Amino acid sequence: MRPGRFVDTRPLRVSPAFRRLWIGSTAAGLSGQLAATAVLHQVWELTGSPWWTGTIGLATAVPTVVGGLVGGTLADAVDRRRLVLVTTTATVAAAGLAAQAGPGTGSVLLVLALVVLQTTATALGAPARRTFTTRLLPTDLVPAGVALNHVGFQVAVLAGPALAGVLLATGGLRAAYLADVLGLTVSLHGVLRLPAPGTASPPRHPARRTPAGLRATGEGWRYLLSRPELRGCLAADLAATGLAMPVALFPAVNDERFGGGEHTFGLLASAVAAGGLLAGAASGTITRVPRAGRLLLVASATWGSALAAFALVDSLPATLLCLAAAGAADTVAVVCRGTLVQVSTPDAYLGRVSAAENVVGVAGPGLGNARAGAVAGLTSATTSALTGGLACVVVVGVIAATTPALRRWRPPAAVTPTSAATPTGRVRGPVPHRGRGRPRRRPRR
């Protein structure tokens, strides 16, 4: 069996810097999910109001979108490593959450303010952090690096809430928030140990830095829209999540089909992530597919089809199987999209395009859950899931038919650090020659 057929761990072995960064990012993702659960619990304990718990979504969504767009422009204008280090002020906000979580204390407004601060800091650094994969890995390992990042995210989504429940039951809110401080500290260590900008793998499409500002943000969006493969892959992701996101339907489906039991609701809530984690375990196969754009379109259509089937089945095993299939398809699409964005975007635009990808990834599920809830309120959860899944398949089909550049896209030839320019400007490896045939030998002196 060829190595890396399942979880492709070559990036962790080849690049110690990427390994440290991945461990830190996974730790921060896990502690972030843990802290999100603790915040939800504390706000409910302080208010007992679903309105206040709903405001947590606003406190995270708005800073993520605004901070992500600003952070994308900054990532193309300043030292990205330094930007990520500065935005680790999220650790200060996490420590503030721990400090206010004493017995008999706590203010819902203070909690939400600290959530806004932490989310804003994280969003400002997120686009720059996304560019590190291409700086630390050769081109042929970037898909495996993207897949490993997504596997870490899926592990955090599955394990974070469960770990939060244990810590809340044994150590209380302060223990849960201190665990978030620990996770962010591990992440900070990974960034501190990154190589200096001059010693990392050079940009694949070198270009001058762009000054930060609204003009630079507009230039980034114009560049993204001018590249059909980039706008096509982001449009496919927005169609999948914006039209067919099922999470808001889980309570209604649980009541209608399974009597509203808490254990069945937990299974529904974790089935998508479980399917995604299983697909991530096969990342070695996914990252070796040559036409990543075509696979992205197939995976997006599969997501919609699986969720349309989810609307029609009745038994619990069939329901969970449909959700797991949707989660697996989502992981494949995310890996392909991340590969396409990271490999095909010039370094001078990578921060802004990564920010757009992040905004679509955050806004899409929110819009999708809002659509699902509104349609279910007017009709039923079954109708909402069925129409959303079918609409996703149709829109992805239109994108596939009108974007041949996305269907044909494949990663460029591998670029490795050993053949790249050294910090002194000299080139290692074979020197390219012009013309046809063999290069002419230099005359001997």
Tokens of 419: 């053949």
Specify the pLDDT at position 199. Answer: 39
Specify the pLDDT at position 5. Answer: 56
**Residue 425 CA: distances (Å) to CA of 184, 428, 432:** 36, 10, 16
Is residue 134 within 8 Å of 142, Cβ to Cβ? yes
Helix axes 108-136, 142-170, angle to 10 degrees: 150
- Chunk the chain into consecutive blocks of 10 residues (it has 445) and report each block's average pLDDT, rounded to whole numbers: 63 91 91 85 79 76 84 84 83 88 79 91 86 85 84 81 81 90 89 66 46 69 88 92 86 85 77 85 73 92 96 93 94 88 85 83 78 86 94 96 92 50 34 41 48
Specify the pLDDT at position 262. Answer: 67
Radius of gyration of the chain (CA): 23
DSSP string, 260-273: T-HHHHHHHHHHHH
Task: Select from 184, 86, 68, 192 the least CA-distant residue to 126.
Answer: 68
**Residue 336 CA: distances (Å) to CA of 64, 150, 151, 235, 266:** 23, 11, 13, 14, 29
Specify the pLDDT at position 197. Answer: 57
Specify the pLDDT at position 402. Answer: 95
Model pTM score: 0.70
Q: String of b and e for 346-372 (b: at least 16 CB within 10 Å)?
A: ebbbbbbbbbbbbbbbbbbbbebbebb
Specify the pLDDT at position 152. Answer: 85
How far is it, in rounded angstroms, from Cα 159 to Cα 156? 5
Please report the domains of the chain, with CATH numbers, ordered by start residue. 1-190 (1.20.1250.20), 213-412 (1.20.1250.20)
Phi, psi angle pair for 421, to nearest 5°: -70, 140
How far is it, in rounded angstroms, from Cα 272 to Cα 306? 11
Tokens of 221: 């969006």
Specify the pLDDT at position 428. Answer: 35
